[in-house]
Amino acid sequence: MKSSLLASIGLISFYLGYLFYSKYISKTIFREKTDEKTPAHSYNDGVDFVPTNKNILLGHHFTSIAGAAPIIGPCIALYWGWLPAFIWIVIGIIFMGAVHDYGALVISAKEKGQTIASLSSKVLNSRVRIMFLLFVACLTWLVLAVFANAIAGLFINNPSSVIPINIEILIAIIIGIVIYKKNWNALIPSILALIALYFFIFVGTKVPISLSDFGVQNEKQVWIVFLFIYSSIASLLPVWVLLQPRDYINSHQLFVGLGLIYFSIFIINPNISAPAINIPEHGPSIFPFLFITVACGAISGFHGLVSSGTTSKQLNRFSEARQIGYGSMLGEGALGLASLIAAAAGLSLVAGCSFEGFYGTWETASSNGAIPFISGSSAMLEKIGFSNIVASTLISVLVISFAATTLDTATRIQRMIMVELGSVLRINFLKNKYFATIVGVLPAYLLVSNGMGGKLWPIFGTSNQMLAALTLMIISIYYWKKSRNVIPLVVPMIFLIFVTLTALISKTHMFFQNNDYLLLSLNTILIGLIFWMVAEGFILVRSKSNDK
């Protein structure tokens, strides 16, 4: 099969989903009032609640959710063949992931910018709020650990990316100042910033930086420490200083990068060399592990945290919620689709590469991370005139930029979660944002430093999609109380609960056999919290139904 045909089917499907299904969801369930005042205006504090230009907020939200996960997940899922991964990405995005993100943004904005965890107390009861907060805290520690580990590895494998990634931080701060303090129009400075970034990508190819050249013995550990210090500082700054402008720059970078990748797909039109379906004798079964491996490439609970944790506090008008919430997830789908095609077709353009070499065993497939995407995309860019080093650096910077954006946003969200837990549990020191930040990142650092970084993807994917199911449960009950048609929310919720519980129980057995007692304990805690929250939801619905 030609890769351009697969890309066309996927992109057209996303367009039709936005044109028809998102409008159907908006009219039948969410029913936003365009003249209603948003929390960004009602509680404007200049730090977290900030009315934000639609394009800037779209860039912030898009890049916050479009991290390395929709790149890594589809790459690994190619282990079972391109067809199952493609079907799940397209169907999952349109009917589940985009609906989930859009719903979390709308109900948070309607409820004073409260997080999904806070809303669970209103929708269900105060016990669920505590359980939800604990579940989210565990997931966010996994997010931080997974992304810090991935970024550190990419810095080591692609030393030419070090200069442009770090210069981007300085550029973003300058852009934040000229937009918010000098009142410049955002478009021109961001384009200039993008040009500067590409200049430093060229500089990075000429001056690659490896810490081993400076006598550092454990490069990865040093990078991980640096990343957690950086993300902690970034999470404490007002959103307009670094988070928003960097995300806006990154959104342009992603559009350019995706544009180049899809341009190369349609111009070169390489054959898909990977099998349509691959069922190996050994390794995890396609069900349920395909779904949790694709992870954010189809639906992500972390997106609900972004929608309700940061984006809802910056939403300028309710009329912009569908484009930002539903539309951004379709953009992530385009990224996931590009990743799948780069691995399935682009790798065939690399000398000496084969499907068996990357996907011969589950251990090999699951440890490759973003390498198939970087290698395959770089090979396609070379075919349209880029040099090897420039192509690989450009794609590496693309991946690291979005992984770092997710790291920033996750740290900010975790800080808010810790403060909220401190208030609910009356733990005074957690109410302090500095202590909350330390508690928010320290367990994640311990997970990575103990060598768990490479083992966390399956449990991250599972807990991430379970959080999406629980978020859909909160949204469903919220609108069920308003007598709306919640079937489009309930069906994906039930499917995800079944898939993720099956995967978690299977992983519990595996962790026990391998004596991974830390992951076994974490897995068991997650299962217990899930059963408790689902039971609370079932009891509430049954009692309300009996009252009727």
Q: 429: closest CA among 410, 128, 445, 440?
A: 440
pLDDT at site 453: 58
Token duo for residue 222: 């040093």
**Residues 99, 295: Cα–Cα separation, whole Å:** 16
Percentages of the chain per state (helix, strand, coil), in multiples of 5:
80, 0, 20
pLDDT at site 13: 97
Confidence of residue 38 (pLDDT cuts 50, 70, 90): very high
Confidence of residue 452 (pLDDT cuts 50, 70, 90): low
Total residue count of the chain as it appears in this document: 548
Confidence of residue 476 (pLDDT cuts 50, 70, 90): very high
**Residues 526, 11: Cα–Cα separation, whole Å:** 35
pLDDT at site 244: 74
- Architecture of the 3-32+56-547 domain: Up-down Bundle (1.20)
**Residues 243, 179: Cα–Cα separation, whole Å:** 13
Q: What percent of the chain has pLDDT over 70?
A: 98
pLDDT at site 536: 83
pLDDT at site 451: 63
| Domain edges within the chain | 3-32+56-547
Residue 454 has pLDDT above 70, yes or no: no
Q: 263: closest CA among 83, 4, 537?
A: 4
Confidence of residue 84 (pLDDT cuts 50, 70, 90): very high
**Residues 120, 106: Cα–Cα separation, whole Å:** 15
Confidence of residue 547 (pLDDT cuts 50, 70, 90): low
pLDDT at site 441: 92
Cβ–Cβ under 8 Å, residues 80 and 287: no
> How wide is the angle at C-alpha 410 spanned by C-alphas 232 and 255, nearest 5°?
110
* Mean pLDDT of the chain, nearest integer: 88
Least confident of 30-34, 72-76, 112-116, 231-235: 30-34
**Residues 39, 54: Cα–Cα separation, whole Å:** 15
| Mean pLDDT (whole number) for 78-93 | 96
Q: 444: closest CA among 397, 406, 470, 471?
A: 406
Handedness of CA 384, 389, 392, 393 (dihedral sign): negative
Handedness of CA 518, 521, 522, 524 (dihedral sign): positive
Least confident of 134-143, 213-222, 342-351, 512-521: 512-521
Cβ–Cβ under 8 Å, residues 93 and 17: yes
In this predicted model, what pLDDT tens digit does every residue of 369-424 receive, in sequence order? 888 999 999 999 999 999 989 999 899 888 888 788 888 888 988 998 899 888 88
> Using CB atoms within 10 A of its CB, is residue 208 exposed (0-12), middle (13-18) or buried (19+)?
middle
In this predicted model, what pLDDT tens digit does every residue of 326-382 receive, in sequence order? 999 999 999 999 999 999 998 888 877 778 888 888 888 888 888 899 999 999 999
Cβ–Cβ under 8 Å, residues 484 and 29: yes
pLDDT at site 53: 86
Adjacent-strand bridge partners of 271: 2
Q: Where are the beta strands (DSSP E) in 28-150?
A: none
**Residues 282, 80: Cα–Cα separation, whole Å:** 12
Torsion angle of C-alpha atoms 310, 459, 326, 497, degrees rounded to 10 = -120
**Residues 101, 306: Cα–Cα separation, whole Å:** 9
One-character DSSP codes across 228-269: HHHHHHHHHS-TTTTHHHHHHHHHHHHHHHHHHHHHHHHHH-
Confidence of residue 269 (pLDDT cuts 50, 70, 90): very high
This prediction's pTM: 0.87
Q: 240: closest CA among 179, 323, 163?
A: 179
**Residues 411, 147: Cα–Cα separation, whole Å:** 11
Most confident among 84-93, 159-168, 223-232 (mean pLDDT)? 84-93
Least confident of 226-230, 239-243, 452-456: 452-456
Confidence of residue 267 (pLDDT cuts 50, 70, 90): very high
> How wide is the angle at C-alpha 374 spanned by C-alphas 78 and 95, nearest 5°?
45
Most confident among 6-10, 166-170, 275-279 (mean pLDDT)? 6-10
| Residue at token pair 């997974």 | 146
Confidence of residue 82 (pLDDT cuts 50, 70, 90): very high
Cβ–Cβ under 8 Å, residues 329 and 64: no
In this predicted model, what pLDDT tens digit does every residue of 133-172 receive, in sequence order? 888 888 888 889 888 888 888 899 889 999 998 888 888 8
Residue 291 has pLDDT above 70, yes or no: yes
| Mean pLDDT (whole number) for 16-22 | 97
Cβ–Cβ under 8 Å, residues 323 and 57: no
Q: How many other β-carbons are positioned within 10 Å of the β-carbon of residue 363?
A: 10
**Residues 202, 62: Cα–Cα separation, whole Å:** 26
Q: How far is CA 218 from the centre of its chain?
A: 28
pLDDT at site 265: 94
**Residues 415, 440: Cα–Cα separation, whole Å:** 6
| Mean pLDDT (whole number) for 247-271 | 87
Q: How many other β-carbons are positioned within 10 Å of the β-carbon of residue 384?
A: 12
pLDDT at site 363: 85
Cβ–Cβ under 8 Å, residues 382 and 388: yes
